[in-house]
Amino acid sequence: MAKILTVLYPDPVDGQPKSYARDDIPKLDHYPGGQTLPTPKDIDFKPGELLGSVSGELGLRKFLEDQGHTFIVTSDKDGPNSVFEKELPDADIVISQPFWPAYLTEERLKKAKKLKLAITAGIGSDHVDLDAAMKNGVTVAEVTYSNSISVAEHVVMMILSLVRNYLPSYEWVKKGGWNIADCVERSYDLEGMNVGTVGAGRIGLAVLRRLKPFDVKLHYTDRHRLPKEVEKELGLIYHKDVESLVKVCDVVTINAPLHSETEHLFDAKMIGKMKHGAYLINTARAKIVDRDAVVKALESGQLAGYAGDVWFPQPAPKDHPWRKMPHHGMTPHISGTSLSAQARYAAGTREILENYFAGKPIRTEYLIVDKGKLAGTGAHSYSGGDATKGVDESIKYRKSA
């Protein structure tokens, strides 16, 4: 029997919901492009429930304990005295989420002598040291595509909320005001603006598709150019580098992975090349931008707004400067963990476990590392890069979002 160690974010302050805003969620059977949604034999939860927090348990407890496995769920993941650190040495399987990541560093993987499988409940396995996983024979899998559209929708929401000055207007209503002039003094139409994405993988392309109906001019840069028919369909303008894109865009959204070439890509120099009064959206990784450069750009007016849901470190401390900088629209790391997304990545996690315990192959598109090498989606999406110091939101590989 196996020991499964699972790290999930803490429950709501008032406990698990006793009821939900909606009775159900739409039932989908495939993602854009045709990939089917997770297909476990069964699930022990109702889609639309809160599954990603500790008490939600990804809906896995009955399934695992009925088979005699040991199932440990915690949110305590950081430091030598954490539950995660203490339980890791004899764990066979680790499950974690990008929103509350349990970092599997080289040091931790060396301690985890029995570890055979690391599952990301969601997408993005950059909290796992993939080199160390390959050396230690640990299979790494994630629920590919499960929350890509969720993140893309979050990006569009943030663009509109910044450009239309939604959040300050909402605050005037809460304060009992009717201050129209104060609300609209920073409010513009998105129509006609130049909007560009740095990275045009699953998320970046989904953002572009959702923005086309707004009659904006769409730009993108990516190390893999999109097919000509896609460029023609969406009216895309391709840029060979980030600098040429940011010079002409009113809105820039970052949908690229974090690696040695993108870490602090948006520093003071790059932000200075952007159009004065541009908006910057980052739902990728916080360290792609320079924290203090963003604050200064908002204070000076070089940036009209900054929004995102990725921070460094995570969770962000109460004194993090992004909490109080002007004209921001930050959220905790929530873009990919809507209740809809949770139903998909919980089902995908169960599918991976069902196949693993039955000795059946894990779906190719879910694999990142297998049998000591990059595999499946990992082999397609990752390539060797410069080594980084530990896994702290940095990654040794490049990945299309």
Active-site annotation holds for 147 = yes
Active-site pick, 285, 328, 344, 363? 285
Active-site annotation holds for 285 = yes
Active-site pick, 127, 239, 333, 363? 333
Active-site pick, 314, 328, 342, 344? 314
22: CB partners within 8 A, 6+ apart: 48
Single-letter residue type at 371: K
Say whether 180 sits in a helix, a strand or coil. Answer: helix
Active-site annotation holds for 342 = no
Q: Which two tokens stand for residue 319?
A: 């004194």
312: CB partners within 8 A, 6+ apart: 285, 286, 287, 291, 392, 393
292-296, long-range: CB within 8 Å, 24+ apart, which pairs? Answer: 292/321, 293/266, 293/267, 293/268, 294/266, 294/322, 294/325, 295/321, 295/322, 295/325, 296/268
Active-site annotation holds for 179 = no
Q: Which two tokens stand for residue 334?
A: 């929530």
User: How far, in Å, CA of 147 to CA of 138, rounded?
Assistant: 24
Q: Which two tokens stand for residue 295?
A: 């604050």
Active-site pick, 136, 147, 302, 342? 147
Measured CA angle at 48 (ends 140, 10), to 5 deg:
60
- Name the residues annotated as catalytic: 147, 285, 314, 333
